[in-house]
């Protein structure tokens, strides 16, 4: 029995109809940026390098010297994860007053090998007091990402960076979140579903409207009306519709079938995962 999927089209049509009167929508939620404070070195990496680590299936990667300093050794035969480190040089220049000053200039990147904690052994690491790990475990539909072998992690977000990312590579898939926000999570999960169905081959405006509208529908289907952030969804979709020189509502209708297919895939996967877990529990108790 489908728990949510039968209502997908109904919810989708209701949201698109609501977009026809944007003045009645709730105000967009302000993003709550994640600010990680644990002492894991890779937390200070660029979001791109953190994403590389996540795609490699780990939340803690370090160089050989860093692992040695932590009392751990890299196991023989372990495969390195290659990240990019900036190459800087010092330039001497003069300011407006004619005084000599020094500044750093970026002239390229170099590859640096790091290794996942799973490929090390030795002294136990300090227990991380990371509230965001608990928050991640409470995300709705997290079991869908797990069943698709998607690594889910967080990074310290800022107003200048994207709120979240979904990416796949030859080594894996990852969703990284820079805000403590369920609508961003649902947006990125919809990207993942769209990738499974269609391969994300459409233009960016198409992909982003599918993800944003799909995320809102997902949360509405789950009864998370506040978190669906319809006001924020409208503003987000409006920007991409304008860039594509399309009417917002017409753009939503154009992608609606694709959106519903993504939402149904996510909800059907969640239902299947729940059924599998229930069967395993019954078998264990028998």
Residue 2: the pLDDT is 41
Exposed e or buried b per residue across 42-65, where buried means at least 16 C-beta atoms within 10 angstroms of its C-beta:
bbebebebbbbbbbbbbbbbbbee
When pLDDT is averaged across residues 211-228 and rounded to a whole number, the result is: 95
pLDDT single digits (tens) 46-98: 888 888 998 998 989 999 999 999 999 999 999 999 999 888 888 888 777 77
Residue 224 counted as domain residue:
yes
Q: Is residue 60 part of a domain?
A: no
The model's pTM is 0.85
Q: Is there a domain that residue 250 lies in?
A: yes
Averaged pLDDT for residues 102-110: 82
Residue 277: its pLDDT value, please? 78
pLDDT confidence of 38, banded at 50, 70, 90?
confident
So what's the pLDDT on residue 6? 52
pLDDT level of residue 286 (50, 70, 90 thresholds)? low
Residue 80 belongs to some domain of the structure:
no
pLDDT tens digits for range 241-284:
999 999 999 999 999 999 999 999 999 999 998 888 777 777 77
CA–CA gap between residue 64 and residue 43 (Å, rounded) = 17
3-state secondary structure of 237: helix
Is 168 within the bounds of a domain?
yes
For residue 208, what are the domain limits?
Answer: 5-35+128-276
Residue 245 covered by a domain: yes
Domain count, the chain: 1
What pLDDT does 238 receive?
97
Beta strands in the chain (DSSP E): 61-62, 72-74, 81-94, 100-116, 120-122, 150-154, 164-169, 172-177
Nearest-CA neighbor of 166 among 212, 225, 128?
Answer: 212
Cα separation, 90 vs 75, in Å, equals: 38
pLDDT tens digits along 142-191: 999 999 999 999 988 887 778 999 999 888 899 999 999 999 999 999 99
What proportions of the chain, in percent to the nearest 5, are helix, strand and coil? 50, 20, 30
pLDDT category, 3, cuts 50, 70, 90?
Answer: very low
Write down the pLDDT at residue 280. 73
| Residue 143 located in a structural domain | yes
Look at residue 113 and tell me if it is in a domain.
no
Confidence grade of residue 129 (pLDDT, cut at 50, 70, 90): low
* 231-239 average pLDDT score: 97
| Sequence-separated (6 or more) residues with CB below 8 Å from residue 47 | 155, 161, 165, 176, 178
């Amino acid at each position: 029995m489908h728990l949510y999927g039968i209502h997908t089209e109904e919810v989708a049509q209701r949201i698109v109809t609501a977009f026809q009167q944007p003045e009645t929508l709730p105000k967009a939620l302000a993003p709550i940026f994640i600010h990680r404070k644990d002492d894991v070195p890779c937390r200070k990496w660029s979001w791109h390098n953190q994403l590389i680590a996540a795609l490699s299936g780990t939340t803690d990667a370090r160089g050989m010297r860093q692992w040695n300093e932590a009392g751990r050794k890299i196991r023989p035969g372990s495969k390195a994860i290659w990240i990019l480190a900036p190459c800087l040089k010092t330039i001497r220049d003069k300011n407006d007053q004619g005084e000599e000053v020094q500044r750093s200039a970026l002239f390229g990147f170099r590859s640096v090998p790091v290794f996942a904690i799973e490929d090390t052994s030795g002294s136990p690491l300090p227990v991380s007091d990371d509230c965001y790990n608990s928050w991640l475990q409470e995300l709705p539909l997290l079991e869908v990402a797990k069943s698709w072998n998607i690594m889910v992690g967080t990074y310290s977000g800022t107003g200048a960076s994207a709120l979240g990312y979904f990416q796949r590579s030859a080594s894996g898939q990852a969703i990284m979140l820079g805000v403590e926000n369920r609508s961003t999570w649902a947006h990125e999960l919809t990207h993942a579903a769209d990738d499974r169905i269609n391969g994300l081959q459409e233009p960016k405006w198409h992909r982003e409207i599918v993800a944003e509208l799909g995320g809102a529908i997902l949360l509405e289907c789950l009864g998370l009306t506040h978190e669906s952030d319809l006001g924020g969804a409208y503003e987000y979709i409006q920007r991409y519709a304008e860039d594509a020189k399309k009417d917002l509502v017409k753009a939503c209708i154009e992608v609606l079938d694709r959106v519903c297919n993504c939402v149904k895939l996510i909800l059907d996967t969640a239902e299947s995962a729940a059924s599998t877990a229930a069967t395993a529990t019954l078998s264990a108790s028998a």
